[in-house]
Amino acid sequence: MMIEARGLVRTFKTKRGPVQAVQGVDLDVADGEIVGFLGPNGAGKTTTMRMLATLITPTSGSATVAGCDLAKDPVGVRRRIGYVPQSGSTLPEAVAGDEVVDHARLYGVSKAKAIADGQRLFEELDLPGLWRRQCKTLSGGQRRRLDIVMGLIHDPKLIFLDEPTTGLDPQARANLWEHIRGLRDRGATIFLTTHYLDEADALCDRILVIDHGRIVGAGTPEALKQQVSGDAVRLRLADHAGGRADAGAGGSRRTNVTETVIRIVEKLDGAIEVEAVADGVNFRIPRGGSVLPGLLRQIDAVGIELDGVEVHRPTLDDVFLTMTGRSLRDDSPAPADEPEKQKEAVA
Ligand SMILES: Nc1ncnc2c1ncn2[C@@H]1O[C@H](COP(=O)(O)OP(=O)(O)OP(=O)(O)O)[C@@H](O)[C@H]1O
Ligand SMILES: [Mg+2]
């Protein structure tokens, strides 16, 4: 296990009383995994990540991170991890290459090695010719990739990325996904937070969902989607297409047809929310695609004709809504107490 955390708790003291940011988090991350940490604003993602990265101490609980005990050997943890904070890690006026070298020096990397490795990473992460550039002149995507370089310069085997793609355009985002997959392919383990559900779906081997400081769901993107509600299936009945809704005989026939289909569907293993709708029958079922062929044969065998069949996979949005009772908005603003402000004050 690259990360093994048990009962992590973090309470912040504030003037208005204690804030229980993380309230007992257990989590396991295996070697070589990309794990996505999802949750609404204020759920406790950054706080959990900062504890695991030794930047703040847990109020209680324990963890082993990259083979080192968080409490007993924080220096060992720090030496083995890379951490890319939510708000970025470079100063606007600084020169990109200098930032990278200075950062590497903090980890005890020699200057010569820092320059060589940094310039290699600039090539690999698609930042050619930008080594001498002032950070503030880089584009958003370039700056976020520079943040990634900073997190990688000492060759960590575990990388924490706090919302690495927030604010990037779709192309820069896709680019960064490729880089992150590349890191994993080179043997690194990646633990990242994101507000983009499509990103978690496309990029992560496993997802952890946190809300109000507690893990409320965990699994592969597929398993989570399956667990929530199953696929939504819509059977459109041919008899309804003619629009004979008010015809007496047609009406009663339609009822019979609908009833027959409903009876067949209700016998399917795991079918829920079976209901008649205007033009057919809707229901939910796990692995809709694999039960359909048999279902269609049964409907055909009783002489009922279908006009169409639709299967909708549940999205991670559905997962979120079910687990947290809230939708995860992609455009949620950064909370006021994020370090972004401090950064501007420094600049
Ligand atoms: N230094 C602090 N002092 C007081 N409260 C804090 C501090 N840091 C975080 N909190 C509070 O702890 C809770 C969790 O914050 P955290 O930054 O971990 O959330 P998050 O899941 O990363 O949210 P976001 O998606 O907005 O980044 C919030 O209610 C936040 O206001
Ligand atoms: Mg955060």
pLDDT of residue 66: 97
Distance of CA 24 to the CA centre of its chain: 20
Buried b (16+ CB within 10 A) or exposed e, 101-137: bbbbeeeebeeeebbebbbebbeebebeebbebebee
Q: Which of 15, 47, 59, 327 to mutate to test the pocket of ligand 1 (most atoms within 8 A of CB)?
A: 47
Q: Whose CA is nearest to atom 31 of ligand 1?
A: 42
| Cβ contact 107:54 at 8 Å | no
pLDDT of residue 163: 93
Could you report the per-residue pLDDT of 292-327, keeping only the tens digit for each?
A: 999 999 999 999 999 999 998 888 877 887 777 776
| Segments in the chain forming alpha helices (H) | 45-52, 74-80, 96-106, 111-124, 140-152, 170-185, 197-203, 221-228, 238-241, 248-266, 288-301, 316-324, 340-346
Residue 249 has pLDDT above 80, yes or no: no
Task: Name residues contacting ligand 1 (CB within 6 A).
Answer: 12, 14, 19, 21, 39, 41-47, 86, 335, 337
Using a 10 angstrom Cβ sphere, with 0-12 exposed, 13-18 middle and 19 or more buried, the burial of residue 197 is buried
Measured distance CA(225)–CA(59) in Å, rounded: 33
Give Cβ neighbours of residue 233 (< 8 Å, ≥ 6 apart): 282, 283, 284, 285, 288, 292, 309, 310, 311, 312
Neighbouring residues of the ion ligand 2, judged by CB less than 5 Å: 45-46, 86
Q: Whose CA is nearest to atom 27 of ligand 1?
A: 41
State in Å: Cα 316 to ligand 2 middle. Answer: 19
Q: Which of 45, 49, 56 to mutate to test the pocket of ligand 1 (most atoms within 8 A of CB)?
A: 45
Instruction: Indicate which ligand has the atom closest to the C-alpha of 337.
Output: 1
β-strand pairing of 189-193 with 3-14? unpaired
pTM summary value = 0.77
pLDDT of residue 328: 61
State in Å: Cα 49 to ligand 2 middle. Answer: 9
Q: Which domains does the chain have, with CATH numbers?
A: 3-226+323-346 (3.40.50.300), 231-313 (3.30.70.100)
Mean pLDDT for 6-35 is 96
State in Å: Cα 12 to ligand 2 middle. Answer: 15
β-strand pairing of 231-237 with 68-69? unpaired
pLDDT of residue 13: 95
Best CA proximity match to 219, nearest among 203, 199, 205: 205
